[in-house]
Homo-oligomer: A and B are copies of this chain.
Amino acid sequence: MARAGLTPERLARAGAELADEVGFDQVTVSALARRFDVKVASLYSHLKSSQDLKTKIALLALEELADRAADALAGRAGKDALTAFANVYRDYAREHPGRFTAAQMRLDAHTAAASAGGRHAQMTRAVLRGYHLTEPDQTHAVRLLGSVFHGYVTLELGGGFSHSSPDTQETWSRVLDALDALLRNWPAP
């Protein structure tokens, strides 16, 4: 009986591809087993549960996103950094909608702490370094940027902006302009 060579890593990777193809919440242990041409129960040697699979995909996506963001940020500052950073999220979501959805999954505290989530927060702070905000304004700004990026990309991906009037690329540029202007001129309490 030839072995399929499954590992948690390969399963996570294949699960991520599956998520991009059929949507994150259509990802199922059964579907993944079919993809490897293996019986369902076999996957339970590598996965604790269906939830575990989804978590692994989320962690993979967070890593990939963080890697891309780190690349994009290298050697940039100010608005240049802000734009590059923001585009990483938007582009990733367009290329890998399933993974992007996975990355939004709620993780329990312990898993979250071991994830690339911290890198994201650190990098957002790095972007803000060009804007000379001091604490606690920097934290407020980190949260604002996270909200805008997450919110915009999610709504755009979900078709929430469909009435095409100004196209979404135009809006995206103007939103980044607006955020840059806001960060350069952050209002005092």
A12 to B175, CA, bound (A): 37
Check: A131 CB closer than 8 A to any chain B CB: no
A67 to B165, CA, bound (A): 26
- Chain A binding site: helix, strand, loop or mixed by DSSP? helix
Binds B, one of A2-10, A33-41, A153-161: A153-161
Check: A134 CB closer than 8 A to any chain B CB: no
Are A140 and B171 also in contact (CB < 8 A) when A147-B155, A155-B146, A155-B150 are?
A: yes
The complex is assembled from copies of this chain, and their number is 2
Check: A22 CB closer than 8 A to any chain B CB: no
A162 to B147, CA, bound (A): 14
Quick check: B155 and A106 within 8 Å, CB to CB? no
Interface residues on chain A, size class: 35 or more
Contact with B along A148-189 (1 / 0, CB 8 A): 111110110011111001101011001101101110011101
Check: A87 CB closer than 8 A to any chain B CB: no
